[in-house]
């Protein structure tokens, strides 16, 4: 069946550096993908909608210059956390809908900024 | 705008007892409704989903949920809790306004199963 894969699953980076998280649809094409963030003991909040071939759409309160999203192909979206700070430490997860609007989530990526 | 409300951030049940996790939704158009489970330090796993077909939806691991339009509810149940059911459960909604693709999650309910 359809699978969405995220990489890396776990990443630790130093404060001030940038880190890239990949979201791939493995056996289907996704013109749209979604990025969510989950802070400890909180729910998942939609950050942005990634659109293949065009700019991402960010939710209110999400800094587009800090969270760079690139939907480079029909199977790959990347989220780059730029100049990461400890408060960016979170669980980031992507989703991709199939043609029938079945939504598949990636495994998620745990980011720790030290 | 779509939203879901999960009643009870923590629910404790004894092993073998009924599990009932409550979810109420708000949507101006017919919604799709989901229940996801998240085990500690893991990603999301879809338990079940309602997409306007049968109102009683059966999912994995013995869970089921019933869509009740009159009550705007989509409560999750399991007849007999197992220790392995201990996890966090999220109710979620999507609707036509987001192309049925943009999912809004509830705040989650952490289920504790007592031996």
Q: Check residue A37 and give its pLDDT.
A: 96
A31 interfaces chain B, CB cutoff of 8 Å: no
Confidence check: pLDDT of B97 > 70: yes
A105: chain B residues, CB-CB within 8 Å: 36, 43-44, 46
* % of chain B residues with pLDDT over 90: 70
Chain A (48-107) residues lying within 8 Å, Cβ to Cβ, of chain B? 49, 93, 95, 97, 101, 103, 105-107
Top residue of A23, A30, A43, A60 to mutate, by most chain B CBs within 10 Å, is: A43
Q: Check residue A64 and give its pLDDT.
A: 94
Are B75 and B69 within 8 A, CB to CB? no
What b/e sequence results for A54-68 when a residue is b if at least 16 CB atoms lie within 10 Å of its CB, and e otherwise? eebebeeebeeeebb
Give the count of Cβ contacts less than 8 A between chain A and B: 47
Model confidence over A11-53: pLDDT tens digits? 999 999 999 999 999 989 999 999 999 887 788 999 999 999 8
Instruction: Please state the rounded mean pLDDT for residues A79-94.
Output: 96
Q: Which of B34, B43, B107 sits opposite A43 (nearest CB)?
A: B107
Are A9 and A112 within 8 A, CB to CB? no
């Amino acid at each position: 069946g359809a699978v969405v894969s995220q990489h890396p699953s776990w990443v630790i980076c130093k404060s001030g550096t940038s880190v890239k998280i990949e979201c791939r649809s493995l056996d289907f094409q996704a013109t749209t993908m979604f990025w969510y963030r989950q802070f400890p003991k909180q729910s998942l909040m939609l950050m942005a909608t990634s659109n293949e071939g065009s700019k991402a759409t960010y939710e209110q309160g999400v800094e587009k210059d800090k969270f760079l999203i690139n939907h480079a192909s029909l199977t790959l979206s990347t989220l780059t956390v730029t100049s990461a700070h400890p408060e960016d430490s979170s669980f980031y997860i992507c989703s991709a809908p199939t043609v029938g609007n079945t939504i598949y989530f990636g495994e998620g990526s745990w980011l720790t900024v030290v | 705008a779509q939203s879901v409300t999960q009643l009870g951030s923590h629910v404790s049940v004894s092993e073998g007892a009924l599990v009932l996790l409550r979810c109420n939704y708000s949507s101006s158009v017919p919604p799709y409704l989901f229940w996801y489970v998240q085990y500690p330090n893991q990603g999301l796993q879809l338990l079940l989903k309602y997409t306007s077909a049968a109102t009683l939806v059966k999912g994995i691991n013995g869970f089921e949920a019933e869509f009740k339009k009159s009550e705007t509810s989509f409560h999750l149940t399991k007849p007999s809790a197992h220790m392995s059911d201990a996890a966090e459960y999220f109710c979620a909604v999507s609707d036509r306004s987001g192309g049925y693709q943009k999912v809004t999650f509830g705040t989650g309910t952490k289920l504790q199963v007592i031996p």
